[in-house]
Amino acid sequence: MGRQAIVFSKSLGEIAGALNSSLTVAEKLDCLVQVASRALGVRGCSLMLLDAKRKKLIHVATHGLSDRYVRAGVVEADKSLPEIMEGKTAAVTDTESDPRIQFGEMARREHIASILGVPVMCRGRIVGSLRAYNRIRREFTSAEEEYLITVANLAATVLESSGTLVSAEGSGSTEPKSAPHRRAVRSPVRAVSFAHPSEEDFARLLDFYQIEWVYEPRSFMLEWEGDKVTEMFTPDFYLPGLDLYIEMTTLKPGLTSQKNRKVRRLRELYPDTKIKLLARRDYDRLLAKYGHGPLAGAKTEGVGRILFSADQIQMRVRQLAKEISRDYEGRRILLVGVLRGMLCFMADLMRYLEVPADVDFMAISYYGSGDGGEAVHITKDLDVKPNGRDVVLVEDIVDTGMTLSFVLAHLEARHPATLAVCTLLDKKVRRLTDVPLAYVGFEVPDEFLVGYGLDYREEYRNLPFIALIRQQGRQGDIGG
């Protein structure tokens, strides 16, 4: 056996040992890229996984690469060594001249001269890519390629057995349980050490809604003097599926104004970059909605100011029904409601409609609902088939948009002819994920509302009007 063959065989033994140990998934993957880098004698290796939309590749375990490189950006799967996404090996012998390199300047600075990349496949489906980065320009041998493919297979078994990958829909099934594009990779695999527990809680919430995230993905240059960068900004999260950065100001409220300034500057310099600040109050309210955090136990002292009277609501609902009847003239629609908040709205809306309408309902599990599930799922699905139908999803209120985006993906996967959303209330300022709203009754402020179907812990649903709740001297300062 040649020297290299011995090195490879030893290293595979080392990886097998790590895989068969009590290490965490993240630790196993870290070990794997580290051992592979050493065996190949390269500068570093990275295991990248496709995001939920299968568009972007995210580094989940790296060795030998600088933070700057890893955070330089999320790699576009169809631009960076695209043949890997077709299940082939990609070799770049000279990064300087190769058009398949997305961050050429960065590779140069990082002294990456050549790259070998192979697909990571689970049950015949490509879920990511394993790449080796070399300091010198050179061709890779077929033994090295074979070795990297073996390591990629080992990585795949770790991912598979950890449940990190949510399985793809079976090819034969005509009624997928949910949209396949949301089901590529779940996040907890990432070797993340959070700076603050609130960040971890937030990451868990995103996981629950199957919203892909990257922690501290990259740094933006904000100020510089000549060649020297004098100020950088690293947002806490990047949500690739939504192309949105999130900065949490929950840790030190004193830093909020500084962060506000940084975010303003970032928007100025990078106008195409979407970023949202999540303040302590937003965050506490977000958690409280699911029964967690400091505001979760807030006691109510009844109903406060009335925002919309019963008459105002009826007038607006009638107008919405008119708009829908006009837009769907001559068609038969399917109204879909997600239980239970929309019940008053649905009942009124359907009676004002002038087009024929079928009605059906879904129910979903909520974060922290204690049903043991770690991801949002449907507890009651539609009885009517939405395929080929003109579906109007009826919602009581859209807040962060996370519920709606999950439900929309589920419905879209079942191929309705058209799909539109009609919501009575839109709490726009709290939106995290952009969702298309075709019909909106009222735009509402960032307050917790009850009545006309909306509840606070199952109370106040049966009020005929919509009001704020009064709570321990303050109004509406509760999760919502």
To which residue do tokens 């006691």 refer? 299
Q: Which one among 236, 400, 419, 424 touches ligand IMP, defined by CB under 6 A?
A: 400
Beta strand 357-364 with 449-450: parallel, antiparallel or unpaired?
unpaired
Q: Is 419 in the site for ligand IMP (CB under 6 A)?
A: no
3-state secondary structure (DSSP) of residue 403: helix
Cβ proximity to Mg ion, 74 vs 338, nearer residue: 338
Q: Which one among 25, 107, 288, 397 touches ligand IMP, defined by CB under 6 A?
A: 397
Q: Shortest Cβ distance from residue 398 to Mg ion (Å)?
A: 9
3-state secondary structure (DSSP) of residue 230: strand
Q: Shortest Cβ distance from residue 314 to ligand IMP (Å)?
A: 20
Per CB under 6 A, the segment of 189-197, 277-285, 346-354, 402-410 that binds ligand IMP is 402-410
Residue 439 in contact with residue 320, Cβ under 8 Å? Answer: yes
Phi, psi (rounded to 5 degrees) for 78: -90, -5
Phi, psi (rounded to 5 degrees) for 466: -115, 125
Per CB under 6 A, the segment of 26-34, 100-108, 311-319, 396-404 that binds ligand IMP is 396-404
Site string for ligand IMP, 159-198 (x = CB under 6 A): ----------------------------------------
Q: Which parts of 218-247 interact with ligand IMP (CB under 6 A)? A: none
Picked from Mg ion, ligand IMP, none, the partner binding residue 454 (CB below 5 to 8 A depending on kind) is ligand IMP
* Residues in the chain, total: 480
Q: Is 207 in the site for ligand IMP (CB under 6 A)?
A: no
Amino acid identity of residue 334, one-letter, is: L
Site string for ligand IMP, 441-470 (x = CB under 6 A): -------xx----x----------------
Site string for ligand IMP, 333-372 (x = CB under 6 A): --------x-------------------------------
- 399 flagged as catalytic: yes
Cβ proximity to ligand IMP, 317 vs 454, nearer residue: 454
Q: Which one among 235, 240, 401, 416 touches ligand IMP, defined by CB under 6 A?
A: 401
Burial category of 187 from C-beta neighbours within 10 Å (exposed 0-12, middle 13-18, buried 19 and up)? buried
Beta bridge partners of 238: 214, 245
Per CB under 6 A, the segment of 172-180, 233-241, 350-358, 398-406 that binds ligand IMP is 398-406
Distances (CA, A) of 33 to 38, 313, 400: 9, 59, 37
Number of H helices, E strands in the chain: 11, 22
Picked from Mg ion, ligand IMP, none, the partner binding residue 401 (CB below 5 to 8 A depending on kind) is ligand IMP
Q: What's the rounded Cα separation, in Å, for the pair 440 and 438? A: 7
Picked from ligand IMP, Mg ion, none, the partner binding residue 402 (CB below 5 to 8 A depending on kind) is ligand IMP
Q: What's the rounded Cα separation, in Å, for the pair 152 and 50? A: 14
Q: Is 480 in the site for ligand IMP (CB under 6 A)?
A: yes
Total of chain residues touching ligand IMP, rule CB under 6 A: 16
Token couple for 214: 């990257």
To which residue do tokens 């190769």 refer? 98
Cβ proximity to Mg ion, 338 vs 408, nearer residue: 338
Q: Is 398 in the site for ligand IMP (CB under 6 A)?
A: yes
E strands present in 284-341: 303-308, 333-338
Among 236, 284, 396, 399, the one annotated catalytic:
399
* Contacting residues for 416 by C-beta, under 8 A, at least 6 apart: 334, 386, 387, 388, 389, 390, 391
Token couple for 195: 């700076």
3-state secondary structure (DSSP) of residue 244: strand
Residue 50 in contact with residue 127, Cβ under 8 Å? Answer: yes
User: Which spans of this chain sit near Mg ion (rule: CB under 5 A)?
Assistant: 338, 341, 396
Catalytic residues: 399
User: Which spans of this chain sit near ligand IMP (rule: CB under 6 A)?
Assistant: 341, 395-404, 427, 448-449, 454, 480
